[in-house]
Amino acid sequence: MTKPLKQIHLAAHFPGVNNTTVWSDPRAGSHIEFSSFAHFARTAERAKFDFLFLAEGLRLREQGGKIYDLDVVGRPDTFTVLAALAAVTDRLGLTGTINSTFNEPYEVARQFASLDHLSGGRSAWNVVTSWDAFTGENFRRGGFLPQEERYSRAKEFLATANELFDSWHGDEIVADQATGTFLRDARAGAFVHRGQHFDIHGRFDVPRSPQGRPVIFQAGDSDEGREFAASDADAIFSRYATLEEGQAFYTDVKKRLAKYGRRPEELLILPAATFVLGDTDDEAAELAREVRRRQVSGATALKHLEFVWNRDLSAYDPDGPLPDIDPDPGEEHIARGRAQVRMYRDPVAIAREWRRLAEANHWSIRDLVINTGNRQTFVGSPATVARTIDDFVQADASDGFILVPHITPGGLDEFADKVVPLLQERGVFRTEYEGTTLRDHLGLAHPDRAGETRAAS
Amino acid sequence: MSSTSSSPSSPLHLAVALNGTGWHPASWREPVARPHDLFTAGYWTDLVQEAERGLLDFVTIEDGLGLQSSHFLDPDDRTDQVRGRLDAVLTAARVAPLTRHIGLVPTVIATHTEPFHISKAVATLDYVSTGRAGLRVQITARPNEAAHFGRRTIPRITTYDDPATRDTVAGLFDEAADHVEVVRRLWDSWEDDAEIRDVTTGRFVDRDKLHYIDFHGKHFSVKGPSITPRPPQGQPPVTALAHNTIPYRFVARAADVGYVTPHDPDRARAVIAEIRAEQEAAGRAAEPLHLFADLVVFLDDDPALAAARRDRLDTLAGEEYTSDARIFAGSPTQLADLLEELRAAGLTGFRLRPAVLGHDLPAITRGLVPELQRRDVFRRAYEAGTLRGLLGLPRPANRYAAA
């Protein structure tokens, strides 16, 4: 094997509104004060990470008809907090999740173009789709979009936004004070888009930004989602962080690129990953067990079982055996505002398997959720974690990771201090930023107008 | 406290309206103008920091959902004026961590935007500025901006004073009032102490302190609650510019600060009386409502220089600059005289529109402000940590909290 070492890409996901985040830890800080975001972003930049990542959900989650109260609730507006973070960082990429269903292209394009200007070329857009009337209740058009049209709208939304970004070439503003010519071109920003979802025309009002277009992320896992990523995205925020699953996903997605005339390196695969560090592997394993117990309280365990059972299980004892009744196959799901519940495509089979596992291992409900739920991706000493990450990337199970710490805002500090230097010693992670834009960090080409690309310098 | 009104002892409030390189269309051609920096964070940071050095209450940032135009309702294809701009909320957020005291009041357009998004954006601006956010609400009747969204057509306004025009404009302002109502309810949809982090029961929030707002209106219905907790100020100040009865009514119903454009003290008294009457009709007579006059300013220590600068810019532009607001060209002392005279008519503050930002903003902060301080009508240091505090507005109780 003479394959050259791949350089690893690392990103920091601000701890979110899942039970991954241990808000009950005494070290846990605010999820809404700007100081938490600033601390987190500065740590990521100190560690030379590629970017910071923010998720978004446009309706507070509910379960059993009530607002879900066991996890962190509440978060800031994505664009606004990213613009503020641009003021306290210089190089870190700023990736925001923005929904293509409950927004309009003109407004989103001007927000991303503005963010790209205000950050000197560091913006990225994780394009997500939703269609549910539940979220729609917060917006003008309500639940207007059928589920099967969500990717068709997302694709057209992105294509339209790209037309707006490309409506300025970058050389229109001359601002010649002597002659009085501000614009070279009287029609700068002119666009016409006539499509199934958008019929708009006029002139875009933000001149071309440093990156031309924000870096595009895609996070959906369905066949349609993968195809959307292969045709349109620069990076995928994936969920497959075991070696075998990661390699299978990596191969599947990268092979889809050819039919769009794209090369494998034009789409980065970056799974979400959690981690627990200890001085030794044994200590880390012990800490990881403790973190899992904090992530899954008895109450949380019951609620997670309800995702599969789709029934009110509040009468069950989380320290007792699993329910012997079967899941409710009803269409109306007990949990609302969660993408996660869609993963359970055959709840009856899952319930059967979980009962079998619980009986074989003498697990209570809580034990089961702790052991089958999202266990930490990387557990070990800094040396073990650095080696595991490197092996994973070199084995083409990913191009790097989007790390999701479980403590806000200090959960990344130890990784920055202890693991990053080891990756740098291995020669697989940058010791200094080489470029100024996020495209530079990710090795992505800078788009010229109309999708023509030039190599990143 | 009743409607905010001025008395000889009450302080005067001062804001500056940031707009490109300044309000005069030829301002970008002045050597101090920095037109090549317009789309950089540094440009906006410098301006707001200068305003903060002058202890101003706040800056507003102009915005729109289309390119600037010299026509009131239609786009133009001009190439001799500044065209293009950055989103005002994001610009304010970019500046927030680099300033400490000054209020940040971006323009948001109510007509085509989602109140849910605007509410959380301004709440977040309040978080990133630790209590210094406001918003300036504007409508748009421009057909070309409607075409940028493609969701509806807005009837074309042809003449200004016919019933159809009044209906169209009144409809847009009614929608804006609904928009503001939703934005405000969403800010209150979290009680201040909703986050409890109760380790014993495992509950992060007390969901009884999160509220559905259940707004139903002609243009939208919004369920809530917001995804963003109640902002530090509770209710960031809502501001709006108004020129006649329909927008006066909007200011009276929905705003904390109204910007008006009287050209003399008599007209100021008439406008104030009309808005106060509308305020009473809206049942808000007991609530504080600031009324600021907008003035375009050319400021030089030598008044002749200010007048000459105005002439020179008009010559460059090829036409005389006109404005909805009174245009003042003179010295800081003369401007201070005018502000005191207008204040005596009942205005509580002023939003100055610098003709050339690079020149007239420093003239405000370094010329006008010291003059007002000498007269004992303007602060000598920031006295509060929030924009509401600077404006003398108490932090409001939450409408949904049990009394």
Structural domain boundaries in chain B:
13-150+236-390
**Other Cβ atoms closer than 10 A to B277:** 14
pLDDT averaged over every residue in chain B = 95
| Distance of residue B122 Cα from the nearest chain A Cα, in angstroms | 8
Query: Cα(B257)–Cα(B241) distance, rounded to whole angstroms?
Result: 9
Assess contact for B292 and B349: CB atoms under 8 A. yes
Which one of B65, B89, B123 has the shortest CB-CB distance to A106? B65
Instruction: Kindly give, in sequence order, each residue whose CB lies less than 8 Å from that of residue A56, ignoring residues fewer than 6 positions away.
Output: A75, A78, A96, A97, A98, A99, A128, B227
Chain B CB contacts of A115 under 8 Å are 87, 90
**Which chain B residue's Cα is nearest to A298?**
B202
B22 touches A at CB < 8 Å: no
Where does residue A354 rank: exposed (0-12), middle (13-18), buried (19+ CB within 10 A)? buried
ipTM above 0.90, yes or no: yes
B161 touches A at CB < 8 Å: no
pLDDT tens digit at each of 403 positions of chain B: 345 554 545 789 999 999 999 999 999 999 999 999 999 999 999 999 999 999 999 999 999 999 999 998 899 999 999 999 999 999 999 999 999 999 999 999 999 999 999 999 999 999 999 999 999 999 999 999 999 999 998 888 887 778 889 999 999 999 999 999 999 999 999 999 999 999 999 999 999 999 999 999 999 999 999 999 999 999 999 999 999 999 999 999 999 999 999 999 999 999 999 999 999 999 999 999 999 999 999 999 999 999 999 999 999 999 999 999 999 999 999 999 999 999 999 999 999 999 999 999 999 999 999 999 999 999 999 999 999 999 999 999 999 998 6
Q: What is the pLDDT of residue A332?
A: 78
Chain B CB contacts of A60 under 8 Å are 210, 225, 227
Chain A CB contacts of B131 under 8 Å are none
Distances in Å between the alpha carbon of A373 and those of A278, A286, A311, A449? 21, 17, 19, 45
- Sign for the pseudo-dihedral over CA of A351, A357, A362, A366: negative
**Other Cβ atoms closer than 10 A to A2:** 3
Q: What is the pLDDT of residue A240?
A: 87
First to last CA, chain A: 28
Q: What is the pLDDT of residue B161?
A: 78
Q: Is B260 helix (H, G, I), strand (E, B) or coil?
A: strand
Phi, psi dihedrals of residue B102, rounded to the nearest 5°: -75, 145
Is B90's CB within 8 Å of A79's CB?
Answer: yes
3-state secondary structure B168-184: HHHHHHHHHHHHHHHHH
Q: Which two tokens stand for residue A99?
A: 């929904």
- Map out the domains of chain A with their CATH numbers: 9-279+376-454 (3.20.20.30), 297-372 (no CATH)
Assess contact for A212 and A161: CB atoms under 8 A. no
Which one of B86, B125, B210 has the shortest CB-CB distance to A80? B125
Residue type, position B299, single letter: L
Q: What is the pLDDT of residue A340?
A: 63
Which one of B90, B206, B229 has the shortest CB-CB distance to A115? B90
Assess contact for A31 and A23: CB atoms under 8 A. yes
Which one of B29, B86, B195 has the shortest CB-CB distance to A180? B29
Chain B CB contacts of A203 under 8 Å are 66-67, 75, 144
Query: Cα(A338)–Cα(B169) distance, rounded to whole angstroms?
Result: 41
Number of residue pairs across A and B with CB atoms under 8 Å?
226
Considering only residues 75 to 94 of chain B, which have any Cβ-Cβ distance to chain A shorter than 8 Å?
75, 77-87, 89-91, 93-94
Chain B CB contacts of A87 under 8 Å are 41, 45, 94-98
Is A76's CB within 8 Å of B127's CB?
Answer: yes
Chain A CB contacts of B33 under 8 Å are 177
Chain A CB contacts of B95 under 8 Å are 87
Is A32's CB within 8 Å of B205's CB?
Answer: no
Is B41's CB within 8 Å of A120's CB?
Answer: yes
B212 touches A at CB < 8 Å: no
Q: What is the pLDDT of residue A451?
A: 45
Is A183's CB within 8 Å of B83's CB?
Answer: yes
Query: Cα(A393)–Cα(A401) distance, rounded to whole angstroms?
Result: 9
| Distance of residue A103 Cα from the nearest chain B Cα, in angstroms | 8
Is B127's CB within 8 Å of A38's CB?
Answer: no
| Distance of residue A137 Cα from the nearest chain B Cα, in angstroms | 6
Q: What is the pLDDT of residue A455?
A: 39
Assess contact for A379 and A285: CB atoms under 8 A. yes
β-strand B13-18 against B58-61: which pairing, if any?
A: parallel
Is B39's CB within 8 Å of A117's CB?
Answer: yes
B323 touches A at CB < 8 Å: no
Is B79's CB within 8 Å of A202's CB?
Answer: no
Q: Which of B113, B130, B227 to mutate to test the interface with A (most CBs of A within 10 A)?
A: B227
B10 touches A at CB < 8 Å: no
Chain B CB contacts of A179 under 8 Å are none
Q: Is CATH 3.20.20.30 correct for B13-150+236-390?
A: yes
> Is this model's pTM higher than 0.90 or not?
yes
Considering only residues 96 to 135 of chain B, which have any Cβ-Cβ distance to chain A shorter than 8 Å?
96-98, 112-114, 116-117, 120-121, 123-125, 127-128, 130
Q: Which of B32, B61, B83 to mutate to test the interface with A (most CBs of A within 10 A)?
A: B83
Q: Which two tokens stand for residue A243?
A: 């070696």
**Which chain B residue's Cα is nearest to A18?**
B204
Assess contact for A41 and A85: CB atoms under 8 A. yes
Where does residue A312 rank: exposed (0-12), middle (13-18), buried (19+ CB within 10 A)? middle
| Distance of residue A150 Cα from the nearest chain B Cα, in angstroms | 18
pLDDT digit string (tens) for A206-219?
A: 999 999 999 999 99
3-state secondary structure chain A: CCCCCCCCEEEEECCCCCCCCCCCCCCCCCCCCHHHHHHHHHHHHHCCCCEEEECCCCCCCEECCEECCCCCCCCCCHHHHHHHHHHHCCCCEEEEEEECCCCCHHHHHHHHHHHHHHCCCCEEEEEECCCCHHHHCCCCCCCCCCHHHHHHHHHHHHHHHHHHHCCCCCCCEEEECCCCEEECCCCCCEEEEECCCCEEEEECCCCCCCCCCCEEEECCCCHHHHHHHHHHCCEEEECCCCHHHHHHHHHHHHHCCHHHCCCHHHCEEEEEECEEECCCHHHHHHHHHHHHHHHCCHHHHHHHHHHHHCCCCCCCCCCCCCCCCCCCCCCCCCEECCCHHHHCCCHHHHHHHHHHHHHHHCCCHHHHHHHHCCCCCEEECHHHHHHHHHHHHHCCCCCEEEECCCCCCHHHHHHHHHHHHHHHHCCCCCCCCCCCCHHHHHCCCEECHHHCEECCC
Is A182's CB within 8 Å of B81's CB?
Answer: yes
Q: Which of A14, A17, A80, A296 to mutate to test the interface with B (most CBs of B within 10 A)?
A: A80
Is B84's CB within 8 Å of A117's CB?
Answer: no
Task: Write out residues in chain A with pLDDT < 50, as ranges.
Answer: 449-457
Q: What is the pLDDT of residue B68?
A: 97
Is A74's CB within 8 Å of B113's CB?
Answer: no
Q: What is the pLDDT of residue A453?
A: 46
Chain B CB contacts of A436 under 8 Å are none
Q: Residue A64: left if φ>0, alpha if ψ -120 to 50, beta else—which one?
A: left
Q: Is B290 helix (H, G, I), strand (E, B) or coil?
A: strand
Q: Is B245 helix (H, G, I), strand (E, B) or coil?
A: helix
Is B151's CB within 8 Å of A87's CB?
Answer: no
